Amino acid sequence: MKPPFSVLSSKTYRALALTGICILMALVFIADTITNYAIAAAVFHTPLLLIAIRFLSARQVITLASFSMVLTVVSVLLTRAGDYEVGLINTGISLVAIAITTYLGLKLKSVQAAAHETREHLLRLSRLTTLGQLSTSIAHEVSQPLAAINSSTGACQRWLQASPPNIEKAQAAAQRIADDAQRAKDVLDRVRSITRNEAPTSSAFDLNLALTELLKLSDGEMRRQHIDLRLALQSDLPQVFADRVQIQQVMANLLLNAIEALSPASDFHAARITIETRLLPGDKPQTSKVLFSIKDNGPGLSDTQLPQLFDTFWTTKATGLGLGLTISRSIIDANNGHIWATDQADGGAAFHFTLPLAP
């Protein structure tokens, strides 16, 4: 127990408190002795024992309780006033009260100690779990640009090995490699800032332009899977105020999910992704938001899947980690936005998020 006065050491404080309790017990003994047998003053030993249990060890408390019992018995032998039989009954009640109070007090202290140890154990487990989740998050977020770098590297080599070499397309592939490498670096920088509890690096930017840059990186994959991309971007969209790299990471996660939802291609209809941006007017200018929506015409989401989509490590993919949407929600929340998913009436899934306008 921490001493109430910082100038006293814990050992000194316990010694002073023990001395004080012994003095009070002596006073209880005197009161119990000079009064008649009908007054069970010895029961006042019990609150003193409850105080002692807070800062003494179990062995010291048991010793103190035994001392209280001895004082109670000696007191009844020394008392000269009142009915002796009544005195014996009150003494018996006092002894039982002292014993029960000591037992229950020590039991409660033992339970509190166990609860404290359990909390410490859970805290250590939480730290280990957080470290594991952070490592998994880094692996998940960096895997996308690394996979894109690998794909662009192969394309660049093929264009250079062609006869004659296609220099223009090889240069385009090299530029994609450079862009993806920069994106991986930016992701690592953002993860590093999160571990330091730094706030997002918010700034005003054009959401449509950030999306267009991202789509250039995913254009090859969508063409390879014959996905029909439809854009419905509001031309005069106001700028948003958020961390540009983080928001691009969210859009990349949602776009990748949409592409994977459309793979393999269906024999019944063409794969299609629709991306929309528009202004959501609020009651006041400062409450207006910019809405980003991405919709696919894949298998969609069931009523049981929707409530769990953003849960950590929950995924509908056989090889998924269940982190992409969790990270996306954390990013959008940190940037004062809101993200959610809906199931489309005509089939497919839709994901939406809002962001605040730039001041």
65-108 residue pLDDT tens: 888 888 888 888 888 777 777 778 888 888 888 888 888 888 88
Pairing between β-strand 203-205 and β-strand 240-242 as defined by DSSP bridges: antiparallel
What are the distances in angstroms from CA 169 to CA 174, 215, 226?
Answer: 9, 18, 20
Higher pLDDT, 155 or 137: 155
pLDDT of residue 140: 64
Sign of CA dihedral 306, 309, 314, 318: positive
pLDDT at 253: 83
Residue 191 binned pLDDT confidence (cut-offs 50, 70, 90): low
**pLDDT tier at 59 (50, 70, 90 boundaries)?**
confident
Global confidence as pTM: 0.51
Residue 3 in contact with residue 10, Cβ under 8 Å?
Answer: yes
DSSP state letter for 85: H
The Cα angle at residue 209 between residues 205 and 214, in degrees rounded to 5: 115
Across the range 345-349, mean pLDDT stands at: 82
Structure confidence by residue, pLDDT tens digits, 230-284: 999 999 999 999 988 888 888 988 888 888 888 766 655 688 899 999 999 877 7
What tokens appear for 121 in the block? 């154990």
